[in-house]
Structure 1
Amino acid sequence: MLDVPFFRRPPPALKGETVFLRMPVLSDHAEWAALRDESRGFLVPWEPSWAPDELSKGAFRHRLKRYRAEFDKGTGISFFVFDAPTEALVGGITLSNIRRGVAQTASIGYWMGERYAGRGMMLAALQLLIPYAFEGLRLHRLEAACIPDNKRSVGLLEKAGFQREGLLRSYLRINGSWRDHYLYALIAKEHHVPVLEPRG
């Protein structure tokens, strides 16, 4: 059963010392498009193929509608990551494919603008998102998949406490090719949070 009452609340904002997370709004488009465009070569090897209108305002508006629909249905929540001191957009992080019932699981995905990579900002974002997922959403398990060659992503997940569980063969179509992915997971009790009964 979906946690409908929770998802009828206003979207959350998660605030830390170095970064803060909030759902994107239409006025973020110009900054988002500029950051993604300048980081294209850095991001493309690890992402699904970009559409011809990937960075257009119309495509961004459609993206926001999808984010809001997923949030309202309780199946996902997408955040932009901002540098706390400057309020500059630095990347994005998403909880998707939220499964309730006997699973209580979600998948994590993320991207970072090239100029901000290597500064610990995505680790800080994960450290905000993980307690929200386990305590706020009462999830039991978080999963993340990354291409084995993506050393930054492997290092990030391991620093955040995720455990590698196996190799998913030909798992996702990335930049036009089916790619193997490592599967990583984190369980609530491993993150030292109270084990909470799911709502609903």
Structure 2
Amino acid sequence: MLIRNQEAIYLRPMQVSDAYELHSLRTRNHHFLQPFEPIRPAAHLTLTGQTEQLAQAERDFAAGTGYAFGIFLNDTDQLIGRIALSNVVRGAWQNATLGYFLDQAQNGKGYTSMAVGLVLDFAFTTAELHRVQAGVMPHNLPSIRVLEKNGFRREGLSLHYLQINGKWEDHLIFARTIEDTQSPSL
């Protein structure tokens, strides 16, 4: 399955065969991404750790409990990031949590905004979700702009929401529902 943006990027479900490329991307960007991520065991950033993470992503995708995609450049097929719908809850909620990261060298080109738009289309059509939410630290202005460009609304502030880089951080909660993609009835 490919989800393609004709301008620049495409999304493809992450596979174990992407482990080497993902490991390289994560290693190269470790210091750039660390202020926005939990502190993980050193084994997480090894090739074995990334392979295990991708094997779990494949199982989650097959089960419909999570959808992890690689963000690839159209012209070179280079992996430049990852975007995922995780913590999928069905039943009365039909919700997922959105998370993403992009290679520092590719920031500022609109790729993350494009990827969010593509994954939202997948979420509301193929995955048949009703709501997608994201939590962002209030000082992460670029990520807030990405969400706002994609029609997410700010729902509130959750205090001490996630332990990021060793500290319990507040997060602004953003969400978008399928109703936000539909035209109002006349």
The TM-score range, normalised by the shorter chain, is over 0.9
Structure 1: 5+ residue stretches without partners: 1-11, 195-200
Shift of 1:132: 1.0
Alignment-mate amino acid for residue 155 of structure 2 = E
CA distance in 2, matches of 1:47, 1:164: 21
Q: Does the 8 Å contact 1:13/1:20 carry over to 2? A: yes
Normalising by the residue count of structure 2, what TM-score does the alignment of the two structures yield? 0.92
CA distance in 2, matches of 1:61, 1:20: 22
The one of 112, 115, 126 aligned to 1:136: 126
The one of 40, 50, 74 aligned to 2:40: 50
Q: Does the 8 Å contact 1:77/1:95 carry over to 2? A: yes
**Are 1:158 and 2:148 an aligned pair?**
yes
Q: Does the 8 Å contact 1:49/1:176 carry over to 2? A: yes
CA distance in 2, matches of 1:79, 1:147: 23
CA distance in 1, matches of 2:102, 2:38: 15
Alignment-mate amino acid for residue 79 of structure 2 = L
Shift of 1:193: 7.1
Shift of 1:106: 0.9
Q: What is aligned with 1:5?
A: none
**Are 1:91 and 2:81 an aligned pair?**
yes
Aligned residue for 1:21, secondary structure, equals: strand
CA distance in 1, matches of 2:162, 2:174: 15
Q: What is aligned with 1:198?
A: none
Aligned residue for 2:174, secondary structure, equals: strand
Q: How does 1:27-176 map to 2 (within 5 A)?
A: 27-176=17-166
**Are 1:14 and 2:14 an aligned pair?**
no
Normalising by the residue count of structure 1, what TM-score does the alignment of the two structures yield? 0.86
Cα deviation, 1:48-96, whole Å, max 9, x if unaligned, reads 1132123222111210221122122221110110011111111000011
* Structure 1 residues 57 and 23: CA distance shift in structure 2, 3 A: same
Aligned residue for 2:88, secondary structure, equals: strand
CA distance in 1, matches of 2:61, 2:175: 22
Shift of 1:34: 2.0
Alignment-mate amino acid for residue 50 of structure 2 = F
**Are 1:188 and 2:159 an aligned pair?**
no
Identity %: 36
What number of residue pairs does the alignment pair up? 183
